[in-house]
Amino acid sequence: MTFTTSPPTPEYALLSFPTPQILLVTLNRPRSLNCINTKGHQELHAIWEWMDSEPSLRVGILTGAGRAFCAGADLKEWQGKANSGEDLTPRSGFGGLSRRTGLKPVICAVNGLCLGGGSEMAINADLVIASQGAVFGFPEVKRGVVAIAGSLPRLVRTVGRQRAMEMVLTGRQVSAVEAERFGFVNEVVPSDDAAATNGAPGAVVRRAIEVAREIAENSPDAVIVSREGVKIGWEGVGAEDGTRMLIDGWSKRLYGGENIKEGLLAFVEKRKPNWFDSKL
């Protein structure tokens, strides 16, 4: 594969490309349950920024090595810096994802423990696909800290006030099936421990790749703008104001691009579109 710039070379994550349009990021601190330290946050921020800047990439997937997706922050590091008041996360939040705006969609393929910062990343992902054995939770209150990386306002908009209060005030773990019922998770797939142990992608990653392929088959311009429209509404903007913002901010670029012309021409000619890399 050829990119306009070289991919990042992170210490705490692995990068792979299931297809030329899909970036798979695997958190790779399995002995630490993929807890993320300061350097890991900066690495992930750089990875998502790089994905957005690479025209050929259309979808990102985040998963974890071993039995955890991400069990949260590196509390040993956090304890050492707790008195300094230093913010350990980049402007895009925990793992470069919990407050990320970005251009391109990211799917969380949650393969196991998804706690604290792990759940903060998932709540701001565009889709969440979970293994049946995955668990979610915000245990911060049990350690005297707060889920302050962006998840609390977003959680209530996703699962509702009462469920959000239950999750963050009790700190209890929620099963994948329950999280799907809450609307936190899009889809639950059977656990596949055998695949994980022999090095092959587990069922949850395989399913995330299938969904990412579906997204990547669509117009990259239309995906970016459609995602933006949903985000505007989710952030609390009224329907009419959001529509106006979307039209004013994106319509000229969308209608002036090559992909809308290609999509309409392909429809008329009854063929599959040959999309161009997005220039938005």
Tokens of 111: 């393969």
CB 229 within 8 Å of CB 242: yes
Least trusted range by pLDDT, from 8-12, 230-234, 263-267:
230-234
Whether residues 87 and 35 fall in one domain: yes
Structural domains counted in the chain? 2
Q: Is residue 95 part of a domain?
A: yes
CA-to-CA distance for 60 and 48, rounded, in angstroms? 8
Q: Is residue 277 part of a domain?
A: no
Whether residues 103 and 237 fall in one domain: no
Over 50-81, what HEC string results?
Answer: HHHHCCCCCEEEEEECCCEEECCECHHHHHHH
Task: Share the mean pLDDT of the chain.
Answer: 91
In the set 140, 149, 196, 202, the catalytic residue is: 140
Average pLDDT over residues 5-33: 96
Whether residues 212 and 225 fall in one domain: no
Banded model confidence at residue 193, pLDDT cuts 50, 70, 90: low
Residue 174 is classified by DSSP as E
CA-to-CA distance for 277 and 280, rounded, in angstroms? 9
* Model pLDDT, residue 198: 53
Q: Is residue 2 part of a domain?
A: no
Q: Is residue 245 part of a domain?
A: yes
Angle at 134 between CA 129 and CA 137, to 5 degrees: 100
In the set 43, 54, 120, 180, the catalytic residue is: 120
Whether residues 34 and 82 fall in one domain: yes
CATH of the domain at 97: 3.90.226.10
CA-to-CA distance for 147 and 157, rounded, in angstroms? 15
Domain coverage including residue 83: 13-216
In the set 117, 118, 133, 137, the catalytic residue is: 117
Q: Is residue 159 part of a domain?
A: yes
Banded model confidence at residue 144, pLDDT cuts 50, 70, 90: confident
Q: Is residue 279 part of a domain?
A: no
List, for residues 59-90, the tens digit of each pLDDT value.
999 999 999 999 988 767 665 555 555 556 78
Whether residues 202 and 168 fall in one domain: yes
The answer, yes or no, to whether residue 111 has pLDDT greater than 80, is: yes
Ramachandran region, residue 213 (left: φ > 0; alpha: ψ -120 to 50; beta: rest): alpha
- Annotation marks residue 117 as catalytic: yes
Whether residues 124 and 250 fall in one domain: no
Whether residues 149 and 234 fall in one domain: no
Cross-strand pairs, 192: none
CA-to-CA distance for 110 and 59, rounded, in angstroms? 16
- Annotation marks residue 140 as catalytic: yes
Q: Give CA separation, 225 vs 58, 85, 97, 211, 279, in Å.
A: 13, 38, 19, 18, 12
Whether residues 211 and 76 fall in one domain: yes
Domain end, chosen from 176, 199, 216, is at 216
Helical axes 161-170 vs 151-159, angle rounded to 10° = 130
List, for residues 224-235, the tens digit of each pLDDT value.
999 999 998 888
CB 48 within 8 Å of CB 60: yes
Q: Is residue 207 part of a domain?
A: yes
